[in-house]
A = this chain, B = another copy of it.
Amino acid sequence: MDWVYVEDIAGHAGREVEVRGWVYHKRSSGKVRFLVVRDGTGLLQGTMYSADKDAPLFQTFDALTQESSVLVRGVVREEKRAPGGFELEIREIVPVQISRDYPITPKEHSTPFLMEHRHLWLRSEKQHAVLRVRAEVVKAIRDFFDGRGFRLMDTPILTPSACEGTTTLFETAYFDQKAYLSQSGQLYNEATAMAFGKVYCFGPTFRAERSKTRKHLIEFWMVEPEVAFATLEDITVLGEDLVLFIIDRVLTRRRADLDILERDVKPLERVAKPFPRLRYEEILPRLQEKGSTIKFGDDFGAPEEALLSEFYDVPVCISHFPAAVKAFYMQPAPDRPDLALGVDVIASESYGEIIGGGQRIHDLDLLEERIREHRLPREAYEWYLDLRKYGSVPHSGFGLGVERTVSWMCGIKHIRETIPFPRLLYRIYP
């Protein structure tokens, strides 16, 4: 007899199959017993009929508890009333292990309790839906870049230089040296972009920040494209295209999951090109007018992102930030050297910054000056300076945070549910 996954059940109508999974739900109604089994790919309702309430099959049924593991054998029948359109006429149930006192019950549980049981919480319908959306977002991102001829270039996690202060870096002993966990693959991307033209890296990044917000993780995944010869304008358009590609994929392929999450999809359907584009100096007075205490030179915080969501019901591109508060490698605006050619994309509905990027300095003298001004150890950047000595070209790139994007797609307010095992301040278990 074939072992069949629930997602493939439609192809087996009329045939006897074996489904392997866990008890999700069961109920009795007169001479009928209903057993809903989950196998990780879907839910399948099985039915049993008997006039004898002590029939052996019913006795087995009676002993099953929530999350007990089972092999269920029976014939697949089309049944419009069943969830998924098919059900199983059960002929045999083989319990694999009877689960006792499964800790997550239909009642409400506290967040600390659920986080402590994250390894089991993952089995719940809502968590399932969020993580399926996550997998789809990741796949969409990779398909987007692969389809446009970008070459995947994995950048290292263990890096020697402490870019700008070590306070938010995880440090480890690397044999006789020190190493730091990467916060971005960008500097390495700049090298591979000069070799391959269009590249991206996509991996975990780390920030040892003692901040406890609903938008930050200690360990999170980021995709970072980098394009030789691209300007700020070019990568702003690239970022828009990426966001639209992700939204389209999620709306097309994961609509059922969004339904489970009760996500109102209208705010996503509404997103179109081009996103409103504003310079930092343009948006500042509007934010202040609405009561924000932001001053020239400040970054946007949650209150400013919330205000932006009042002004616009789509994502917004903010560019031309004060150079003094931005990273040392940012290209200054030609007409305003006090402004940096950087761009942030702020998601709608207060989901915060999902993209940060910009054009990088390609002039050797200027980059050397900035390294001195920022008091960075020059020897650590020798290789990075080489990129400006040997065929330097204007180039640009950005980073998009996966978890922020998933929380936006799913419409969930706390980022901790967008990754299987979140790393938060003081939370590293399980």
Q: Measuring CB to CB, which residues of chain A are less than 8 angstroms from any residue of chain B?
A: 3, 5, 7-8, 20-23, 39-41, 67-69, 96-97, 99-100, 102-103, 117-120, 122-123, 127-128, 131-132, 134-135, 138-139, 142, 146, 149, 151-160, 170-177, 179, 181, 188, 191-198, 203-204, 206, 208, 210, 218-219, 221, 228-229, 362, 383-384, 386-387, 389-394, 419-421, 423, 425-426, 428-430
Roughly how many angstroms separate A166 CA and B190 CA in the complex, as a whole number? 35
A391: chain B residues at CB < 8 Å are 22-23, 67-69, 96-97, 99, 102
Q: Is the beta-carbon distance between B131 and A383 smaller than 8 angstroms? A: no
Q: Which of B22, B135, B177, B393 contacts A428 (CB 8 A)?
A: B177
- Beyond A97-B391, A175-B426, 15 additional pairs, beta carbon < 8 A: A3-B229, A39-B228, A96-B392, A96-B393, A119-B386, A128-B196, A138-B152, A156-B219, A156-B420, A158-B218, A159-B428, A171-B172, A181-B181, A191-B430, A383-B429
Roughly how many angstroms separate A327 CA and B403 CA in the complex, as a whole number? 33
Which of A3, A68, A97 has the most chain B CB atoms inside 10 A of its CB?
Answer: A97
A365–chain B nearest beta-carbon distance, Å: 12
A131–chain B nearest beta-carbon distance, Å: 7
Q: Is the beta-carbon distance between A149 and B5 smaller than 8 angstroms? A: yes
A374–chain B nearest beta-carbon distance, Å: 19
A97–chain B nearest beta-carbon distance, Å: 4
Roughly how many angstroms separate A102 CA and B392 CA in the complex, as a whole number? 12
Chain B minimum-CB-distance residue to A7: B149
A32–chain B nearest beta-carbon distance, Å: 24
Q: Is the beta-carbon distance between B67 and A219 smaller than 8 angstroms? A: no
In the complex, 26 of the A-B residue pairs with CB atoms within 8 angstroms, ordered by the A residue number, are A7-B149, A8-B149, A20-B228, A20-B393, A22-B194, A40-B197, A40-B198, A41-B197, A67-B390, A96-B391, A97-B362, A97-B393, A99-B390, A102-B390, A117-B383, A120-B390, A123-B194, A123-B195, A131-B196, A153-B420, A156-B420, A157-B157, A158-B218, A177-B426, A179-B428, A191-B430
A69: chain B residues at CB < 8 Å are 391-393
Roughly how many angstroms separate A204 CA and B221 CA in the complex, as a whole number? 12
Q: Is the beta-carbon distance between A158 and B219 smaller than 8 angstroms? A: yes
Query: Chain A's interface: helix, strand, loop or mixed, by majority?
Result: mixed
Roughly how many angstroms separate A41 CA and B195 CA in the complex, as a whole number? 9
A221–chain B nearest beta-carbon distance, Å: 6
A221: chain B residues at CB < 8 Å are 154
Q: Is the beta-carbon distance between A428 and B173 smaller than 8 angstroms? A: no
Chain B minimum-CB-distance residue to A22: B391
A97: chain B residues at CB < 8 Å are 362, 391-393
Q: With A69-B392, A99-B390, A206-B158 in contact, is A426–B176 under 8 Å at CB?
A: yes
A153: chain B residues at CB < 8 Å are 131, 135, 420
A205–chain B nearest beta-carbon distance, Å: 10
A393: chain B residues at CB < 8 Å are 20, 69, 96-97
A363–chain B nearest beta-carbon distance, Å: 9
Q: Is the beta-carbon distance between A192 and B420 smaller than 8 angstroms? A: yes
Q: With A122-B195, A142-B142, A154-B221 in contact, is A421–B67 under 8 Å at CB?
A: no
Roughly how many angstroms separate A67 CA and B208 CA in the complex, as a whole number? 39
A131: chain B residues at CB < 8 Å are 151, 153, 196
Q: Which of B103, B135, B197, B389 contacts A5 (CB 8 A)?
A: B197
A301–chain B nearest beta-carbon distance, Å: 22
A265–chain B nearest beta-carbon distance, Å: 22
Chain B minimum-CB-distance residue to A135: B152
A428: chain B residues at CB < 8 Å are 158-160, 174, 177, 179
Which of A3, A20, A156, A362 has the most chain B CB atoms inside 10 A of its CB?
Answer: A156
